[in-house]
Chain A
Amino acid sequence: MPDPIADTLKSRFGDAIRNVVEFRAETTIHVRPDAIIEVCTFLRDDPAALYNFLSDVSAVDVWPDEPRFQVNYHLYSMAHNRRLRLKVSVRDGQSIPSVTGVWPAANWFERETYDLFGVKFDHHPDLRRLLLPDDYLGHPMRRDAPLVVEEVEFTHNYGEVEASKPYAKE
């Protein structure tokens, strides 16, 4: 049975709710990027929803499909003991509104998503890298990022790999 809030959302937000998927008792609601703040605020405050706990924000890269990023919001309602997943599809370079104003917990989640995927969040108070060094170039969790940083050494290519390694000076 889908989350009862799904029908309410559909009638209230219309086009902004693109799709509702029910799989193995988990409800996923696809939301248009520009409506995410209104939907989240409603889900937090409506007495039938009360999703007051944001447990995770992350992203999935579906490259080479477009739009390539799906940003996931995992919500939990402590009052009703229910969980809900929101999905927002974003193109590369497109930014989406930050939900830090709805749940302050989104701050570091969105920083992590920006750090690893390069998804930009508008009006985020402090959108810096979270996990990687500040001078890191690129976003390693993208599917087109290189899988390994160093060619694997075998006897036949030992010399080449060894020559390219940056050894420390004494």
Chain B
Amino acid sequence: MGVESKLGNLGILTTTIEKAVNWARANACWPLGFGLACCAIEFMSTQASHYDLARFGMELVRGSPRQSDLIIVSGRLTRKMAPVLRRLYDQMPEPKYIIAMGDCAACGGVFNNYAIVQGVDEIVPVDVYVAGCPPRPEALIDGILKLQEKIRRSRPLREAREEASKVHA
């Protein structure tokens, strides 16, 4: 019951380029280590052996935005930290994704005050919001699976073509 039994001796598999690209992107989405508060502790335990984020191809938390595809904003973002998040986001190569982990990152949470950004979507475009204060590792994993679903459903080539036709038009 593996891919061998389906293929027989042919050794050939047909798919679309988009599906192959999405498969690669979704299953090796390396997050940037961007811990801001207590959510980062949950993120660390999600990534560590007990919950084992490696099952989803995301075990490698990178220290450099140039080597990562995903920022998990884990915690409340202060107004002073906001330019840093934006700069890190701008330094990441395309395609890039953002998960707003926890209530603080999603909407400011309980911190409706002068110091905290009321949702990181003011600063960067967010793909998945994970609710919770902090979210349990299961919730974060669910958010990650949602992101992978979103990546698999995306049509990168069609989007690129539309983008190109917009430029020519």
How far, in angstroms, from A169 to B125 measured CA to CA in the complex? Answer: 7
How far, in angstroms, from A133 to B124 measured CA to CA in the complex? Answer: 19
Binds A, one of B19-27, B115-123, B150-158: B115-123
Which residues of chain A are near B108, meaning CB under 8 Å?
A: 150
Q: Which of A146, A153, A167 has the most CB of B within 10 A?
A: A167
Q: Are A149 and B114 closer than 8 Å at their CB atoms? A: yes
**Chain B residue with Cβ nearest A129:** B80
The one of A132, A165, A168 that contacts B79, using a Cβ cutoff of 8 Å: A132
How far, in angstroms, from A170 to B159 measured CA to CA in the complex? Answer: 14
Q: In angstroms, how far is the closest chain A Cβ from the Cβ of B167?
A: 16
Q: In angstroms, how far is the closest chain B Cβ from the Cβ of A130?
A: 11
How far, in angstroms, from A153 to B114 measured CA to CA in the complex? Answer: 17
- Given known contacts A132-B79, A133-B80, A136-B79, A165 and B114 CB-to-CB distance under 8 angstroms: no
Q: Are B112 and A140 closer than 8 Å at their CB atoms? A: no
**Chain B residue with Cβ nearest A147:** B113
**Chain A residue with Cβ nearest B126:** A168
Q: Are B125 and A168 closer than 8 Å at their CB atoms? A: yes
- Given known contacts A165-B122, A167-B122, A168-B124, A149 and B112 CB-to-CB distance under 8 angstroms: yes
Which residues of chain B are near A167, meaning CB under 8 Å?
A: 121-122
B109-155, CB < 8 A from A: 112-115, 118-119, 121-125
Q: Is the interface of A mostly helix, strand, loop or mixed?
A: loop
Q: Are B79 and A150 closer than 8 Å at their CB atoms? A: no
Does A145 sit at the interface, judged by CB under 8 A?
Answer: yes
The one of A136, A140, A168 that contacts B123, using a Cβ cutoff of 8 Å: A168
Interface residues on A, range: 10 to 19
- Given known contacts A132-B80, A133-B79, A133-B80, A149 and B125 CB-to-CB distance under 8 angstroms: no
Does A152 sit at the interface, judged by CB under 8 A?
Answer: yes
Which residues of chain A are near B113, meaning CB under 8 Å?
A: 140, 147-149
- Given known contacts A136-B79, A148-B113, A152-B112, A170 and B125 CB-to-CB distance under 8 angstroms: yes
Q: Are A150 and B112 closer than 8 Å at their CB atoms? A: yes
How far, in angstroms, from A148 to B123 measured CA to CA in the complex? Answer: 19
- Residues of chain A whose beta carbon lies under 8 Å from any beta carbon of chain B: 131-133, 136, 140, 145-150, 152-153, 165-170
A-B contact list, 24 entries, CB within 8 Å: A131-B80, A132-B79, A132-B114, A132-B115, A133-B79, A133-B80, A140-B113, A140-B115, A145-B114, A147-B113, A148-B113, A149-B112, A149-B113, A149-B114, A149-B118, A150-B112, A165-B119, A165-B122, A167-B121, A167-B122, A168-B121, A168-B125, A169-B125, A170-B125
Known contacts A133-B80, A166-B122, then 17 further A-B pairs from the complex at CB < 8 Å, ordered by chain A residue: A131-B80, A133-B79, A136-B79, A140-B113, A140-B114, A145-B114, A146-B114, A148-B112, A148-B113, A149-B118, A150-B108, A165-B122, A167-B121, A167-B122, A168-B124, A168-B125, A170-B125
